[in-house]
Chains A and B, each alone.
Chain A
Amino acid sequence: MAEVVLRNLAKSFGTTQAVRDVSFTVPDGAFVVLLGPTGAGKTTLLRLIAGLERPDCGEIMIAGRPVASDTPAERNVAMVFQQYSLYPHMSVRDNLAFPLRSPMLRTPEPEIALKVRAVAETLKIAHKLDNKATALSGGEMQRVSIGRALVRAPSIYLMDEPLSSLDAKLRTDLRVELKRIQTSLGATFLYVTHDQIEAMTMATHVGVLDEGRLVQFGTPREIYETPASLYVAGRLGLPRMNMLPAALFAGAPPGAQTIGLRPENIVQGTGRPARVVRIEHLGDQTRLHLVFDGHEIVTLTDPHTGLEPGDLVPIEPMNPLYFDADGARIARGDY
């Protein structure tokens, strides 16, 4: 496993600037999650590190060695593609064994058989080993794709939304399993996802991308509790952060344009009244949709709440975040 350093990386496709001046370090053994909407440059970053794209400028170092001129094989990275990219004419067994049969590894066949079986069992596809790769469901294909990466020990695992097409239960199981594998191997992961639960539970570091630019890099807690901007604040949290005019509540610092309130940062029982519009019982949480001074607010409440639509409930912000007119957060020390 190795540390991966990106310095001032940029890449454009025609007139589209996919990655702009991105610099960060994936520490050895870290699990870094990249967050961002479609087109933010997450996949391009993975492809740049893998060597599937050449950067326009900037530097990539793997294990302290610049790899700009290296082929993907020389970089020794394992990548899980969003669209699986299985070898359709091969069986599941041969797909999983393919990386181990690389002449660069020279793995003996008995060892390959053992490793393939172990990975297949971990990913619950051992019963499909002799199936053709195309005769699988979407979820099974994705597991084979993950298995093809896990079967060897590369410098870094690059994963592009690897759990996106799995059902909820399998996604949870594999999420735990991937994290367990990462921890036990001490492996370095760079992982792209849209799923905030994956980001929060698996990541040691989160990088948030916006139109090719890295807008914040930190621990999941930092990203969640002290987002650098409204954009970052909107990427984590479910229900999403309530973003309201700062003047709606008293105590806004000078220059504040927007107040950001996480659903759990709204105290009920004191303050000014809001009208209940809808109550959603989700089992593990109950969401309360309110209208406050003409603005919609979503917060959480007691699962056994007696509130009904139309009721009035007093609310008050607690530990709010303030953002200026450009969307940048105003640091707490400033108010």
Chain B
Amino acid sequence: MSHLNMDSVARATPRHLSRRIRGLSDRAIAWVFVAPTIFLLLAVNIFPLIWTIRLSFTNYAANRPNAEVQWIGLRNYERILSDPDTWATMQATAHFLFWTIVFQVMIGFALAWLINQKFRGNDLWTTIIVLPMMLSPAVVGNFWTLLYQPQLGLFNSIVGFFSGADPTSFSMIGDVHLAPWSIVIVDTWMWTPFVMLICLAGLRSIPDSIYEAAECDRASRWRQFWTITVPMVLPFLMLAVLFRGIENFKMFDLVVQLTGGGPGNITTLTSIELKREAFEKWRTGYSSAYAVILFVTVFGLASIYVKALNRVKDR
């Protein structure tokens, strides 16, 4: 009797009814939900990737669609890798990537550590500190060009005030030695709060009781920092480095707005170079090969890094 009752209850549920009407299995319903996403992924990610790889072996130019397309094998790759400009661009990107990550990790962690100390108003300080990352990169680029103005820029005035140098005697954006640092400073200003937030999440995940146990175990503050805080925040810190690394490898808008890749080519990062090749010089095949090289580089480095990250997490 109870079986009959249960059956009748089950039959009365709308879900059961709708499935019966459609006659679909659970598996089929799962496919109905997943298919649009798979289709979208194939259309906007996988197909362009395969198409780019194909184009990278040709001399195709998008502004001459009717011109004959020739299969030139690996010639694009050979030209890119033997071009000194490519390596100069890579060097500029590496400089930008390395120093932004170093500064953001150091300052971000220090800020997170300070904010994590229990003091009045730390929520307000957190909000103030994260403001830069809420701004648009184009806006940030624009107003930092003003701050870097030798005549009226606040940055030059402050540096001049503390160093005693004449503020008009140097131009952060116009000087070949200072321009690479100018983009590092702006990116650090904008994205350090992001690293700080991730570090703060890591710091707040450490229960107070662990520090209490360490105090009872006669560990000094210094020892607690190096044997508890740092190892326990490290996975979070590595995650922040991964995010910032990937983001900065494809940095474009902020730098274009600030320096436009100049002076000369000194702040031309790979993404800027790629855009020039693809949409100013219209060397589509060549730029496709460039894009593939960048993709393989980022993907390879990120894969190695993620493996290291997992090892640290599983320690």
Contacts and interface: CB of A to CB of B under 8 A. Distances in A.
A12 B306 CA distance: 48
Interface secondary structure of B, over-half rule: helix
Interface stretch (A80-88, A223-231, A315-323): A80-88
A6 to B, nearest CB: 18
Given A87-B228, A88-B232, A89-B231, A73 B219 contact: yes
Nearest to A75: B216
B231 A103 contact: no
A99 B213 CA distance: 10
B212 A85 contact: yes
Nearest to B228: A87
B218 A148 contact: no
Interface string B212-240: 11111111100100011001100000000
B315 A89 contact: yes
A270 interface: no
B139 interface: no
A137 interface: no
A71 B315 contact: no
B207 to A, nearest CB: 7
B210 interface: yes
A104 B209 contact: no
Contacts, number: 61
A85 B209 contact: yes
Nearest to B210: A85
A80 to B, nearest CB: 9
Contacts of A81: 209, 212-213
B218 A104 contact: yes
B232 A99 contact: no
B213 A85 contact: yes
B218 A105 contact: yes
Given A83-B209, A85-B210, A103-B223, A77 B216 contact: yes
Nearest to B232: A89
A87 B232 CA distance: 9
Interface in A47-89: 50-52, 71-73, 76-79, 81, 83, 85-89
B218 A79 contact: no
Interface secondary structure of A, over-half rule: loop
A16 interface: no
A89 to B, nearest CB: 5
Nearest to A102: B218
A73 B209 CA distance: 15
Given A87-B228, A103-B223, A76 B210 contact: no
A50 B227 CA distance: 21
A99 B228 CA distance: 13
Contacts of B207: 85
Contact of B218 (A76, A85, A87, A132): A76
Nearest to A72: B215
A103 B214 CA distance: 13
A79 B216 contact: yes
A292 interface: no
Nearest to B216: A79
Interface string A143-159: 00000100000000000
Nearest to A145: B213
A147 to B, nearest CB: 12
A319 to B, nearest CB: 44
Contacts of B212: 50, 52, 72, 79, 81, 85
B91 to A, nearest CB: 37
A255 to B, nearest CB: 48
Interface string A162-195: 0000000000000000000000000000000000
Contact of B210 (A72, A73, A77, A87): A87
A106 to B, nearest CB: 11
A102 B222 CA distance: 11
Contacts of B210: 85-88
Contacts of A78: 216-217
A85 B216 CA distance: 11
Interface string B49-66: 000000000000000000
Given A98-B227, A148-B213, 12 more contacts: A52-B215, A52-B216, A73-B215, A78-B217, A85-B207, A85-B209, A87-B210, A88-B210, A89-B232, A98-B214, A98-B217, A148-B217
29 contacts: A52-B212, A52-B215, A52-B216, A72-B215, A72-B218, A73-B216, A73-B220, A79-B212, A81-B212, A85-B207, A85-B209, A85-B212, A85-B213, A86-B213, A87-B210, A87-B213, A87-B214, A88-B232, A89-B231, A89-B315, A98-B214, A98-B217, A98-B219, A99-B218, A102-B217, A103-B220, A132-B315, A148-B213, A148-B217
Q: What are the 3 tightest A-B residue pairs by CB atom distance, in nearest-first order?
A: A102-B218, A85-B213, A99-B217
